[in-house]
């Protein structure tokens, strides 16, 4: 598996390029800044970008969608609940006051259990509401891209529109904790002591997971 990790944008979002070394097909997750650099990386690696995928609809993660799509022609994929919620005028206005323009609507929706095929690779969509109603994680090949659902030694905030801490706690217990300990967590921000960690170690050191085990 080809895995490229970047920190981009005004709020230091972690963006990921995942590709198949055989077919050279690839996806990019949350390209929220430095879109030209990301597109140049895709070109230099001789990758064929099949999709732009958002882990959720918050504008710090979607603000690069329009530019990335314009450069690459790849469609934008997001869970329906966030695509709808973050297009509501009142929420658009709130985030605009923070300096974020509204992202264009997604070209297609992804849903729980869906397999994202990337050449010979496959990533499973896991719907993980709590940080937002349409948050998703992408799981496969020993990795899980968690967006703002799970950070290293922390979790995503739940005080923004659509957030709910009880829902997030249930998500962590039912959808994240059962995954294998050796799974490598790739979060949406580098807020912890290291950019990544194993889920097994997070079960020991992350207080939000530790309390659930």
By C-alpha distance, which of 155, 148, 54, 162 is closest to 109? 54
- Cβ atoms within 10 Å of 38's Cβ, excluding its own: 25
- Confidence class for position 94, pLDDT limits 50, 70, 90: confident
Averaged pLDDT of the chain: 95
| pTM: predicted TM-score of the whole model, two decimal places | 0.95
53-67 per-position pLDDT tens digit: 999 999 999 999 999
121 contacts 141 by C-beta, under 8 angstroms: yes
Number of separate domains in the chain: 1
Residue 213 has pLDDT above 80, yes or no: no
Residue 48 is part of a domain; what is its CATH number? 3.60.15.10
62-72 burial string, b = 16+ CB within 10 Å, else e?
bbbbbbbbebb
What order of strands is seen across the sheet that includes strand 25-29?
A: 2-8, 13-19, 25-29, 48-53, 76-79, 108-110
Query: Domain span at residue 77?
Result: 2-210
């Amino acid at each position: 598996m080809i895995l490229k990790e970047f920190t981009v944008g005004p709020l230091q979002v972690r963006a990921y390029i995942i590709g198949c070394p055989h077919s050279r097909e690839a996806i990019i997750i949350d390209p929220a800044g430095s879109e030209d650099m990301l597109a140049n990386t895709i070109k230099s690696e001789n990758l064929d970008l099949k999709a732009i995928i958002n882990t959720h609809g918050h504008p710090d993660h979607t603000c690069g969608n329009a530019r990335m799509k314009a450069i690459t022609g790849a469609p934008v994929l997001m869970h329906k609940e966030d695509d709808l919620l973050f297009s509501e005028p009142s929420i658009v206005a709130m985030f605009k006051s923070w300096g974020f323009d509204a992202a264009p609507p997604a070209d297609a929706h992804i849903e729980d259990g869906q397999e994202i095929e990337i050449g010979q690779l496959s990533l499973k969509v896991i719907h993980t509401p709590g940080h937002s109603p349409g948050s998703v994680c992408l799981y496969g090949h020993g990795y899980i891209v968690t967006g703002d659902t799970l950070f290293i030694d922390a979790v995503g905030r739940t005080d923004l529109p659509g957030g709910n801490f009880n829902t997030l706690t249930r998500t962590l217990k039912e959808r994240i904790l059962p995954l294998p300990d050796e799974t490598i967590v790739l979060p949406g921000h580098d807020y912890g002591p290291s950019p990544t960690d194993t889920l097994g170690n997070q079960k020991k050191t992350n207080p939000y997971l530790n309390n659930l085990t």
